[in-house]
Amino acid sequence: MRSKIVVCDLKEEALSETVKQLNERNIPCVACACDVTDEDSFAKVLDKAEQTFGCADILVNNAGITRMQNFFDVGKKDFRDIFEINVFGLFKCTQMFAERLKKTGKNGSVVNLSSNGAKVTYADQVHYCASKASVMNMTQCMADCLVPYGVNVNAVCPGAVDTPMLRACMVATEKDSGGKITVADCEKTWDPKQLGGRLIQPEEIGRVVAFLCSPAGALIRGQAISVDAGTTRF
Ligand SMILES: NC(=O)c1ccc[n+]([C@@H]2O[C@H](COP(=O)([O-])OP(=O)(O)OC[C@H]3O[C@@H](n4cnc5c(N)ncnc54)[C@H](O)[C@@H]3O)[C@@H](O)[C@H]2O)c1
C-alpha cells in the first residue's frame, strides 16, 4: 500500500525527522505542526490534507504522553494532562476526521495507539494505563458508530517500543530507583522473554498499523491488537 501522508506533531524536530525518513523512502508527504488538544490546530491538518492530497481517509491517532509517578504522587492535574491528549484529543480528532470523510462518501480507517498497559498493570503509570484502557473501549464504540459510514476503527496495544517516550521512562526509572535499576537494566529486561532482551522497534508497530488500514484489515473491526511479542494474549 502506497499512502500519501500528512505528518503532524507538536514538535518541530519530530516533524522534520519523520519527513526525512519518508523522503528517503520516496513516500509523498507534507508536515503540519499540530496540537491534538486544539481543534483549530487539527482543522488546519485536515485542510492541509485536502489541499495537498484530497480528503484524508486514514487517521492514525499516535500522539500520546505518559509520566512515571509513584501512586501517592499522582495528582488530578497529572490525570487531566494525560487524558487531555491520550483520550480527549484522540476522540475529538477522530470525530473531526470522520465528519469530513462522511461528506465525501469514501471509506476510511482509524487506528488508535493504545498500549498493552490497557490490559496489564504498570504500577508507576496508573493514569497512563487508565487512559489507554479508555482508548481501547472507545475504539469499540467508535467502530460501531462509524460502521454506517464505511470507516473501520481498530487499536494496537504495543509493548515496550524503543522511542523517546520509552527512553524517558528508563531514565526516570533509573532516577527513581536511586541508580539501583539502570537504563541498561531496563533495556535488557523490558519485554525480555519473548524477544531475547531486545526492544520492539517502531517499524514493527507501523507495519501492523499499515496492515489494519489495508484491504486485508477490512474485517478486523473494533479490535485492540497486542503487538508485544506475546506478553499479553487477550
Ligand atoms: N514507546 C512505547 O513503549 C509505547 C508502548 C505502548 C504504547 N505507546 C503509544 O504509542 C504512541 C507513540 O508513542 P511513542 O513511544 O512514539 O512516544 P514519543 O513521546 O516518542 O512520541 C509521541 C509524539 O507525540 C507528540 N505529541 C505529544 N503531545 C502532542 C499533542 N498535544 N499534539 C500533537 N503531538 C503531540 C510528541 O511531540 C511526540 O513526538 C503513544 O500514544 C504511546 O502512548 C508507546
The CATH number of 55-159+200-227 is 3.40.50.720
C-alpha cell at 16: 522534520
Least confident of 145-154, 175-184, 189-198: 189-198
The yes-or-no verdict on residue 2 having pLDDT over 80 is: no
Predicted structure pTM score:
0.97
Report CA torsion sign: 104, 105, 106, 110: positive
Which atom belonging to ligand 1 lies closest to the Cα atom of 113? 41
pLDDT at 1: 61
pLDDT in tens, 58-112: 999 999 999 999 999 999 999 999 999 999 999 999 999 999 999 999 999 999 9
Burial annotation 203-215 (CB, 10 A radius, 16+ → b, else e): ebbeebbbbbbee
C-alpha cell at 111: 487506528
pLDDT in tens, 25-51: 999 999 999 999 999 999 999 999 999
Q: How far does the centroid of ligand 1 lie from the alpha carbon of residue 165, in Å?
A: 6
Which atom belonging to ligand 1 lies closest to the Cα atom of 132? 43
| Closest Cα to atom 11 of ligand 1 | 62
In 25-177, where does DSSP find H-type helix?
39-52, 76-83, 90-104, 126-146, 164-176
pLDDT in tens, 203-216: 999 999 999 999 99
CA atoms of 153 and 146, how far apart (whole Å) = 8
Mutate which of 7, 65, 190 for ligand 1? The one with the most ligand atoms within 8 Å of its CB, which is 65
In Å, how far are 5, 38, 102, 110, 191 from 96, measured between CA atoms? 18, 12, 10, 12, 36
